[in-house]
Structure 1
Amino acid sequence: MRIACWQAACGSPDVTHLLGRLRAVARRAAEAGAELLVAPEMTVGGYPLRPGTLAQASGPVDGAHCMTVSQIARECGIAIVHGWPEDDGSSVYNAARVVSSEGVTLAAYRKAHLFGEVDSSRFRPGAQGVVQASVGGLTVGLLICYDVEFPEAVRAHAMAGTQLLVVPTALMQPWEFVARTLVPARAFESQLYVAYTNWIGEHQGLRFCGLTTVAAPDGTRLTLEEPAEGLLLAEIDPAVVAKARSATPYLHDRRPELYEGLPARLGFG
Structure 2
Amino acid sequence: MKKIAVVLLQMDIAFGNPKENQRHVRELFQEANLQPGELVILPEMWNTAYDLTRLEEIADYNGQETLQLLKELATTYRVTIVGGSVAVKEGADFYNRTYVIDENGSVLTQYDKAHLFGLMAEDRYLASGNKLAFFENKQVTISPFICYDLRFPEWYRLAAQQGAEVYIVSAQWPVQRLAQWRKLLQARAIENQAFFIAVNRVGADPANHFPGHSMIIDPLGEIILELDDQECIARGEVDAAAILPVRGEIPVFKDARPALYEQIRKGETNNGIFD
TM-score normalised by L of structure 1: 0.90
Separation in structure 2 between the aligned mates of residue 30 and residue 133 of structure 1, nearest angstrom: 24
Match of 1:58 in 2: 60
Would the aligned equivalents of 2:14 and 2:20 in 1 still touch at CA under 8 Å? no
Once residues 44 and 117 of structure 2 are traced to their aligned partners in structure 1, the CA distance between those partners, rounded to angstroms, is 13
1:205 paired with 2:207, answer yes
1:70 alignment partner in structure 2: 71
Please say if residues 78 and 100 of structure 1, whose CA atoms lie closer than 8 Å, have aligned partners that are also in contact: yes
Q: Which residue of structure 2 aligns with residue 7 of structure 1?
A: 10
Tell me the distance in 2 between the aligned counterparts of 1:136 and 1:25.
Answer: 24
One-letter amino acid of the structure 1 residue matched with residue 53 of structure 2: P
| Separation in 2, partners of 1:225, 1:67 | 29
Distance 1:141 1:94 in 2: 16
1:35 paired to 2:38? yes
1:77 is displaced (CA, Å) by 1.4
Structure 2: which amino acid aligns with 1:182?
A: L
SS at match of 1:260: helix
Deviation, structure 1 residue 138: 1.8
Query: Against the structure 1 CA distance between its residues 42 and 102, is the aligned structure 2 distance closer, same or farther, given a 3 Å change threshold?
Result: same
Distance 1:264 1:231, change over 3 A: farther
Q: Which has the larger radius of gyration?
A: 2
Q: Within 2, Cα distance between the matches of 1:58 and 1:64?
A: 6
- Runs of 4+ in structure 1 displaced over 3 angstroms? 10-13, 27-30, 50-54, 222-225
Root-mean-square deviation (CA, aligned residues, Å) is 2.0
Contact 1:211 / 1:225 at 8 angstroms: preserved in 2?
yes
Q: Secondary structure at the match of 2:46?
A: coil
CA contact (8 A) 1:3 1:34 kept: no
Letter in 2 for 1:67: Q
Three-state SS of the structure 2 residue aligned to 1:86 is strand
- Separation in structure 2 between the aligned mates of residue 238 and residue 210 of structure 1, nearest angstrom: 25
> Are residues 1:44 and 2:40 paired?
no
For residue 78 of structure 2, what is the amino acid of its counterpart? G
Is this contact kept in 2: 1:57–1:65, CA < 8 A?
no
**Structure 2: distance between partners of 1:90 and 1:212:** 33
Residues 153/144 of structure 1: CA separation in 2 closer, same or farther (3 Å cut): same
What is the deviation of 1:200? 1.0
Stretch deviating more after TM superposition (171-180 or 4-13): 4-13
1:122 corresponding residue in structure 2:
125
Query: When the two structures are aligned, how many residues end up with a matched partner?
Result: 262
- Percent identity for Structure 1 against Structure 2: 24
Residue 137 of structure 2 aligns with which residue?
A: 135
Work out whether residues 143 and 167 of structure 1, in 8 Å CA contact, stay in contact via their aligned partners in 2.
yes
Look up the match of 2:95.
93
Deviation digits for residues 2-44 of structure 1 (CA, Å, limit 9, x no counterpart): 1111111233542122112212323444536761111000122
User: Would you say the 8 A contact 2:195–2:240 is kept in 1?
Assistant: no
Match of 2:272 in 1: none
1:195 CA drift (Å): 1.1
TM-score, scaled relative to structure 2: 0.88
Cα offset, 1:86, TM superposition: 2.3
